Structure 1
Amino acid sequence: MPAPNGFAYSVRGADVVITHHGRTATVLRGARAAEFLDEVESGDPQLLMARVTGNYRRGNERAARQHARNQR
């Protein structure tokens, strides 16, 4: 699976705005924004932003849904 890319963030007052390829993906406010700023310095910022925005799936969901262990 390729590493996520194209994410950027900017701090606007107490808010953190995360963009993906120039388009706003999410805005973090309050405690979540402060937590994000702490985490972004210690880890992979692209992966963290992908997790926060929910953009971490890469197309194998259909195959996983059709797998025998996921059939009910």
Structure 2
Amino acid sequence: MGQDAQGFRYVERGDGSVVIHHHGRVAATLRGGRAAEFLAEIDDDPQLVMARWTGNYRRGNERTARQHPRNRG
């Protein structure tokens, strides 16, 4: 089972699929080649890898990006 330090954890199932949870809710289910690729990458920084794979890595910077001069209407 994966780490639970920053809200993400993962479970590798017997059929080879991987389920990623974020704060107790299912965030992603990976199967086949994607699951194998995820498991190969998970050793680096598990929380960051799970955030990238689920799309939850951008939280917290949306307001500053909206206020950037390039993004103003």
The one-letter amino acid paired with 1:11 is E
Identity %: 66
Q: Does 2:27 match 1:25?
A: yes
Listed as ranges, the matches of 1:1-72 within 5 Å are 5-12=6-13, 13-41=15-43, 43-71=44-72
For the residue of structure 1 that corresponds to 2:10, the secondary structure is: strand
Aligned pairs, how many? 68
CA shift at 1:58, angstroms? 2.4
Counting helix residues as a fraction of each chain, which structure ranks higher?
1
- TM-score computed with the length of structure 2 as normaliser: 0.80
- Higher RCO (Cα < 8 Å, 6 or more apart): 1
CA apart distance, 1:61: 1.1
Structure 1 unmatched runs, 5+: none
Relative to the length of structure 1, the TM-score reads: 0.81
C-alpha RMSD of the superposition: 1.6
- Structure 1 runs, 4 residues or longer, greater than 3 Å off: none
User: Which string of whole-angstrom CA distances, capped at 9 and with x for unpartnered residues, describes residues 22-67 of structure 1?
Assistant: 11110001111000011112x0001000010011122321331231
